[in-house]
Amino acid sequence: MLVAPISAIEPKVTRAAYSLFTDQQEAQLGKQFAAETAKRIVVLRDAVMVDYLEGLVKKLGVQTQRPQLTYHVTIVDSPQINAFSQPGGYIYVYRGLLNMAWNEGELVGMLAHEISHVVARHNMNRLSRHEVATEISKRARVQGTKLLLSSSELTAWEGAFSRGEETEADLLGFYTMLRAGWHPSCLISAFEGLRAFTGERDLVADMLATHPPTAERSRYLSEELKIVEPPDTLRRDSAAFELMKQLLRELPPPRGK
- pLDDT, tens only, 203-238: 544 555 556 677 788 889 999 999 999 999 999 999
Listed in sequence order, the residues at least 6 apart from 213 whose beta carbon sits closer than 8 Å to its beta carbon are none
Regarding pTM above 0.85, the answer is no
Q: Is residue 7, in this structure, part of any structural domain at all?
A: no
What average pLDDT does this structure show over 77-88? 93
Q: Is residue 224, in this structure, part of any structural domain at all?
A: yes
What average pLDDT does this structure show over 107-121? 96
Q: CA-CA distance, 220 to 216, in Å (whole number)?
A: 7
Q: Is residue 16, in this structure, part of any structural domain at all?
A: no
Q: Is residue 129, in this structure, part of any structural domain at all?
A: yes
Q: Is residue 62, in this structure, part of any structural domain at all?
A: yes
Q: Is residue 237, in this structure, part of any structural domain at all?
A: yes
Number of domains in the chain: 1
Q: Is residue 12, in this structure, part of any structural domain at all?
A: no
Q: Is residue 257, in this structure, part of any structural domain at all?
A: no
At 130-168, the pLDDT tens digits run 666 666 556 555 554 444 434 444 343 345 678 888 999
Domain span at 204: 23-250
Classify burial at 119, counting beta carbons within 10 Å of its beta carbon; exposed 0-12, middle 13-18, buried 19 or more.
buried
